[in-house]
Amino acid sequence: MGASKTENFTAKQNQIAVIAKAMGHPARIAIIDYLLKVDTCICGDIVNEIKLAQPTISQHLKELKNAGIIKGNISGTAICYCIDEKALQTFQKYFNNLETKLEKKKLNCC
Amino acid sequence: MGASKTENFTAKQNQIAVIAKAMGHPARIAIIDYLLKVDTCICGDIVNEIKLAQPTISQHLKELKNAGIIKGNISGTAICYCIDEKALQTFQKYFNNLETKLEKKKLNCC
DNA sequence: TTATTATATTGCAATATTACGATAAATAAT
DNA sequence: ATTATTTATCGTAATATTGCAATATAATAA
């Protein structure tokens, strides 16, 4: 197969999985880290920062954008990318809830 | 290619990506959700809960285990799976740091 | 207009993932 | 010992991902 059976899961589960999947590659974590590190929004110096070819970086940026983790503004010939908080906040909400539940049932388990 | 160039990234970036990738499938989010919902540790009723074939579930469990998100104890013919907190805590630490940095630079951006 | 610069898209090869049927392995029950 | 139960593994098909060279696109600069 190769395709996930998304229809078997809740909208929330699919949503969280999409965000997590977008973060599931070290290049994309590196891009997020870099966008957080630099104060100004960044475009193509990501290519200099990360040792991957330009089309590969472009593809990773696209996936982060599709997942709602980053957004981009055209500014001249360059495109200024930056973190889009929405998806990350959705994820954080899920994750904090998860950790709260975990603490409540500590030691109930193997 | 199809293989990530992990050597280009830091150990931390690779570690976070591995955990995120393991969470990057709705079935695995559903498994995590289920393990959190039930009070006792769970084995094969995950197969009843999630509409995927047993080998598929087994494979997803293996990936969660490899990422350190769950652990399993043999108990008779069954295997009792439960959440393993370590990886999730590592991830949460990364994520909280990310959100802290984000708040500091609000409005600096596109 | 013709470069130049920055990014995206296309096309492709290598590899990984997802899913499942068939089967194996391991323990428990009869 | 035989049978049932539970989970893992193997093999395989369909699809997705990763990465890059080549090329296209779009905006600015000369």
Q: Does domain A10-104 have CATH number 3.10.450.50?
A: no
Cβ burial A40-79 (10 Å sphere, 16+ → b, else e): ebbbeebeebbebeeeebeebbebbeebbbbbbeeeeeeb
| Span B82-94, pLDDT tens digits | 999 999 999 999 9
Distance from CA of B76 to the nearest CA of A (A): 14
Q: What is the ipTM of this complex?
A: 0.93
Tokens 């190769």 belong to: A2
The third-level CATH classification (topology) of the domain covering B9-104 is Arc Repressor Mutant, subunit A (1.10.10)
Decide if B24 and A23 are in contact by the 8 Å CB cutoff: yes
Among A41, A92, A105, the residue with its CB nearest the CB of B39 is A105
User: Residue B78's pLDDT is what?
Assistant: 85
**Domain chopping of chain B, boundaries:** 9-104
| Span A28-45, pLDDT tens digits | 999 999 999 986 667 788
Instruction: Quote the mean pLDDT of chain A.
Output: 91
